[in-house]
Amino acid sequence: MARKRVAILISGRGSNMAALIEAARAPDYPAEIALVISNRPDAAGLAHAAEAGIRTTVVDHTEFTDRPAFEAALTERLEAAGVDLVCHAGFMRIVTAGYVDRWRDRLINIHPSLLPSFPGLNTHARALDAGVKVHGCTVHFVRTAVDDGPIIAQAEVPVLAGDTPESLAARVLAAEHRLYPEALARVAAGKVQVVDERVVLSA
Ligand code: GRF
């Protein structure tokens, strides 16, 4: 089966992007990384992607009057690159219905909590405040509500005595770097279906 063409959208460091690029080096991985787009010209991940030989481009959201105009520019680049799937990886923009519908069930995000707990920002500090004993990360299809949408995969990590938001974030991030490539592989291999807004996995 032909490998699916994937674009990764970033805003910053790009460590999840790097994990996806690394996984896609394997000859039997069902996806190839065709393009990395950043909405921020100074995103550190851009240099890493370029070093890895991946085409990069910047679509700077500050140059557009509103979200739909920015998203139309994104879609234009994605279509020009012949992309099948779009992975948000630390992409810090709220998206609107036109973009979500254009890429429906082909648009994936990773979030650093066990959704539906702790959508939004500062998830690790909020998990510590809440006193949860298990925390983790979620890969899901994107919908217009922030950090919402059919859940593809989750990984849990323990919350340990003495954890700080930073120590917990590092433990979750290591889990993210394992989870996202696994989840993308399943989607790219056609093993993930959305039925009634829930994901059904096949072997
Ligand atoms: C990750 O924790 C991701 O889940 C969240 O933002 C962080 C991005 O990190 N949405 P990186 O840019 O992938 O290193």
Please say if the pLDDT value at position 203 is more than 90.
no
Quote the tokens at residue 122. 């500062």
Cα separation, 173 vs 136, whole angstroms: 9
Interval 6-27 mean pLDDT: 98
Sheet holding 151-158, edge to edge: 56-58, 31-38, 4-10, 85-88, 107-111, 134-141, 151-158
**Confidence class of residue 103 from pLDDT cuts 50, 70 and 90?**
very high
CATH number of the domain bearing residue 172: 3.40.50.170
Residue 135 known to be catalytic:
no
Domain carrying residue 148: 4-201
| Ligand 1 proximal residues by C-beta, below 6 Å | 10, 12-17, 89-90, 110-112, 173, 176
CA proximity to 89, closest of 124, 118, 48: 48
The pLDDT score that the predictor gives to residue 42 is 97
**Confidence class of residue 1 from pLDDT cuts 50, 70 and 90?**
confident
CB environment 177-202: b (16+ within 10 A), e (fewer): bebbbebbbbbbeeebeeeeeebeee
Interval 156-161 mean pLDDT: 98
3-state secondary structure of 7: strand
Q: Which amino acid residue places its CA nearest to atom 2 of ligand 1? A: 112
**Confidence class of residue 201 from pLDDT cuts 50, 70 and 90?**
very high
Q: What is the mean pLDDT of the chain?
A: 97
Cα separation, 32 vs 167, whole angstroms: 32
Q: What is the pLDDT of residues 17-29, one digit of tens each?
A: 999 999 999 999 9
Please say if the pLDDT value at position 161 is more than 80.
yes
Interval 149-156 mean pLDDT: 98
Whole-number Å distance, alpha carbon 142 to ligand 1 midpoint, is: 15
Interval 27-33 mean pLDDT: 97
Half-sphere exposure of residue 45, counting CA atoms within 13 Å on the CB side? 28
